[in-house]
Amino acid sequence: MNQEKKVWRNGNLIPWEEATVHIMSHSFTRGSAVFEVLAFYSTPHGPAAFRLPEHCDRLIRTAELLNMEIVQSKQEIIQAVAETVRANNLDQGFIKIVGFLGEETFVITVPDPKLELSIFAISAQEFRPKNSPPAISSCLSRWRRLHPETVPVEAKVAANYLNGMLARQEAQRRGFDLGLMLDGQGFLAEGSVESAFMAKDGVLMTPPLGRILHSITRRSILEAAPAIGLKTLEKPISLPELLHADEIFISSTSRRVMPVYRIEDRSLGEVPGPVTSQVSRLIEAICSGRDDRFRHWLYPIR
């Protein structure tokens, strides 16, 4: 990384290489770091972060679910994000907010639940993989999504993502780009870090909340799709339904809308399909600031 890059940490801007914690810190050894990743875009009205207040709300909610405390207010976090982007002189890229317990400890709990906070801003070129494909292949992972009675699955906490990492590794070993996980009842859940959508007879479907991450990209697609006449449905999706879908795509902060051209040994034909194409064009227009109906989702950060 460029040594001139700055990181916001607990109210101060510090050099990138100084953004460190001890290996024996609780968040390193116990996986207790919480985080948010969001995108900011160059728009006709200047750089803007996609649904920044909602990401701050989710960060605060994650801390509450884990009995942790973020010292900064929502508005202070928003201001810190803008300060970090300005300090790194960026117009478009990605932001990662990390809350962590930096205390060095051997024990499983810590007496002080207050989190330290760091904010990173990087360019889109640094974050996105080079030569990203226009569509991906997917398999069904043997790993099930974490059960909501074992951990709060809506929390964006580092420990929960070992589950997704294993699913991604398995998929790559099998020659696929991505592994889709089922939940404990055998219904479609999500990918490693992605929400899953399918289309059948022109209807856009996705698993309901309760057993998956409260994805902001997923939420945005569901809220925006009716504006272009698409019918949406949140429902448990069985394995046969998934395998006979007309279209499948995944969504995330970094990929936004990514078509799936193959699920296991079944080709989905020409991709992107009509529903996926409509959703992709809509989200692209929103993120670039060209759709006035959703301009309020873009938070000015300069």
Domains and CATH numbers, the chain: 6-127 (3.30.470.10), 136-287 (3.20.10.10)
- Kindly state the helix (H) or strand (E) to which residue 177 belongs, with its residue range: none
pLDDT of residue 2: 58
Q: What is the pTM of this model?
A: 0.95
DSSP track, 192-254: SS-EEEEEETTEEEEPPTTSS---HHHHHHHHHGGGGT-EEEE----HHHHHT-SEEEEEETT
pLDDT of residue 91: 94
Cα 245 from chain centre: 24
What is the sign, positive or negative, of the torsion defined by CA atoms of 223, 192, 272, 47? positive
| Integer Cα distance of 289 and 177 in angstroms | 30
Q: Average model confidence (pLDDT) for the chain?
A: 95
Q: Which residues contact 109 (CB under 8 A, 6 or more apart)?
A: none
Coil/strand/helix, residue 260: strand
| Integer Cα distance of 47 and 41 in angstroms | 5
Q: Are 260 and 136 in contact (CB under 8 A)?
A: yes
For residue 272, whether the previous peptide bond is cis, meaning omega lies within 30 degrees of 0, is yes
Per the listing, tokens 């907010």 go with: 97
* pLDDT single digits (tens) 9-48: 999 999 999 999 999 999 999 999 999 999 999 999 899 9
Q: Are 108 and 232 in contact (CB under 8 A)?
A: no
Amino acid at site 54 = E
* pLDDT single digits (tens) 269-299: 999 999 999 999 999 999 999 999 999 999 9
Per the listing, tokens 């949140």 go with: 234
DSSP 151: S
Q: What is the largest CA-CA distance in the chain?
A: 56
When pLDDT is averaged across residues 79-98 and rounded to a whole number, the result is: 97
* pLDDT single digits (tens) 202-225: 999 999 999 999 999 999 999 999
Per the listing, tokens 């920044």 go with: 52
Cα angle 106, 112, 116; round to 5: 95
Amino acid at site 290 = R
Residue 8 burial (C-beta neighbours within 10 Å; 0-12, 13-18, 19+): buried
